[in-house]
């Protein structure tokens, strides 16, 4: 437990986190390994876990009938995977597939939501860490939409 707490708080997402909050969070966390090709989650499944990648590489994919899946982003060591666990109806919007052997922490979503609800200090701390990542992803997605390298006029 002590080791998991130390490792969890060592993840960049939790940089400078109040150790007291860390002790609360670790109760919801577990260590995970994914082989290449293995899914962390798939579209429309219940979003019941929040992932923090320790090493490896995870592709977010959108399944399109009749053609190969579209990779909309890749996430690696130090990054977090998944936001759907935060907002009802708590179902994944994409597939997340390990591209390489991947190690991650999983934090049980219901457990984490309950703790945020019960302790708004903890909840606000989580919000301050999650929101910049989400805004950054949204901005990156907008840049991808621009297709800046595409043929002009097409």
Fill in the DSSP letter of residue 46: B
* Nearest in space to 8 (alpha carbons), one of 54, 55, 57: 54
**Is 147 one of the binding residues for another protein (CB under 8 A)?**
yes
**Is 16 one of the binding residues for another protein (CB under 8 A)?**
no
Within 64-83, the residues that bind another protein by CB under 8 A are 67-74, 76
Within 18-47, the residues that bind another protein by CB under 8 A are none
Q: Which residues make Cβ contacts (< 8 Å) with residue 98, sequence separation at least 6?
A: 34, 35, 36, 37, 38, 39, 40, 56, 57, 58
Q: Rounded CA gap, 130 and 134, in Å?
A: 6
Q: Return left, alpha or beta for 153; rule: phi > 0 is left, psi -120 to 50 is alpha, else beta.
A: left
Letters for 99-138 (x = contact with another protein by CB under 8 A, - = none) are xx--------------------------------------
**Is 150 one of the binding residues for another protein (CB under 8 A)?**
yes
Q: Please say which residue, 27 or 73, places its beta carbon nearer to another protein.
A: 73
Q: Please say which residue, 26 or 92, places its beta carbon nearer to another protein.
A: 92
Within 83-102, the residues that bind another protein by CB under 8 A are 97, 99-100
Q: What's the closest the beta carbon of residue 143 comes to another protein, in angstroms?
A: 4
Beta bridge partners of 62: 70
Beta bridge partners of 70: 62
* Nearest in space to 140 (alpha carbons), one of 73, 71, 82, 70: 73
C-beta of residue 47 within 8 angstroms of C-beta of residue 85: yes
Q: Please say which residue, 26 or 59, places its beta carbon nearer to another protein.
A: 59
Binding positions for another protein, rule: CB under 8 A: 57, 59-61, 67-74, 76, 97, 99-100, 139-140, 143-144, 146-153
């Amino acid at each position: 437990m002590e080791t998991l707490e130390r490792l969890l708080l060592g993840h960049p997402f939790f940089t400078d986190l109040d150790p007291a909050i860390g002790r609360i969070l670790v109760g919801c966390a577990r260590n995970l390994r994914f082989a290449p090709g293995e899914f962390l989650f798939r579209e429309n499944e219940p979003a019941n876990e929040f992932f923090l990648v320790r090493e490896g590489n995870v592709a977010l994919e959108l399944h399109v009938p009749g053609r190969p899946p579209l990779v909309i982003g890749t996430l690696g060591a130090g990054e977090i995977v998944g936001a759907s666990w935060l907002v009802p109806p708590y179902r994944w919007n994409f597939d997340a597939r390990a591209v390489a052997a991947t190690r991650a922490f999983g934090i049980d979503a219901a457990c984490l939501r309950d703790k945020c609800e019960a302790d708004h200090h903890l909840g606000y701390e989580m919000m301050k860490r999650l929101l910049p990542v989400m805004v950054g992803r949204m901005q990156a997605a907008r840049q991808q939409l621009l297709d800046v390298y595409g043929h002009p006029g097409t």
